[in-house]
Amino acid sequence: MFSWWRQQPFLVTKVRQLARLARESHAQPMTGVPQPAVLVGPEELGVTFIGHSSFLLQIGGRRVLVDPVFAKRLILLRRQRFPGLLIEELPPIDAVLLTHAHMDHLNLASLRRVVRATRQLAGHAPEVVVPAGVEDLVADLGFRRVHTLEWWHELEMQGLRITMTPCKHWGARMFRDTHRGYGGYVVSNGEFSVYHSGDTAYFSGFREIGERLGPQIALLPIGAYYPDSYRVVHTSPEDALRGFVEMGADRMVPMHYGTFQLGREPMDEPVRRLLAEAERLGIKQKIKVLEEGATMRLPTR
């Protein structure tokens, strides 16, 4: 067994990295205070940042959670900031979108609690959308219906059009289950459209997503980019901004920073670099940095 383990340099490296990050994640107390959920009208768009890559979207009168992670720990890795919302204070959720199977995006305990809370409030559970190959992980969590999508495939659900978009990442839950899909989503109701990229490195697909789907709001990751080898699967702040410009969206909301120490960069560096680059490009007014629990509201046009 040990000889086999020594012959797996990738696994050994990853386990050592995770062990170090887990130790460091407990060095400081958690910060932040959950906020009451801000509810918007059916003619408005509401984008609430929960933390990391977790969002509550209110669009077309529907309430959609994307990659909801409320857990304080991912096995041994502890979050650095509290979630911006509490599950017990959420409105009933119509749908949950999961971008891929990594534990900082698909948290089984959080999903069970979301299902239970919505069932208590609405009398039924939400639906869930996952990439192809991920459905087995959510099959027994109590969702009303499980939908699977592949890149560029779309789904009409409860008055929303949900399209899965490509990205440059990977989707295995552990190490060997590489059959699992991964991607982002564009959610639209005809009036508003929101793009959540999931985890991704910079790639030419940002331009294609803009040309084909034209999202207005882009939720893009800016953390876990150092050392530079991490940029094979993650965007730096400058990479994310380049993708935003090429996509042609109206506004960008950063994500995937400040919650879990997944890279070696300082926790406060991603936002500083993002705003500095946006100012250099003359588009700082298009960047909306949300604190955990804060909601961006847009009225109907």
CATH code for the domain in which residue 134 is found: 3.60.15.10
Q: How confident is the model at residue 75 (pLDDT cuts 50, 70, 90)?
A: confident
Task: Say if CB 187 and CB 156 are below 8 A apart.
Answer: no
pLDDT confidence of residue 7: 58
Task: Say if CB 35 and CB 56 are below 8 A apart.
Answer: no
Is this model's pTM higher than 0.85 or not?
yes
d(CA 47, CA 49): 7
Q: Look at residue 9 and tell me whether its pLDDT is greater than 60.
A: yes
Q: What is the pLDDT of residues 83-127, one digit of tens each?
A: 999 999 999 999 999 999 999 999 999 999 999 999 999 999 999
The two structure tokens encoding residue 40: 């918007």
Task: Say if CB 263 and CB 297 are below 8 A apart.
Answer: no
pLDDT confidence of residue 67: 98
Q: How confident is the model at residue 24 (pLDDT cuts 50, 70, 90)?
A: low
Domain count across the chain: 1
- Name the residue range of residue 209's domain: 2-298
> Which is more confidently placed, 236 or 21?
236
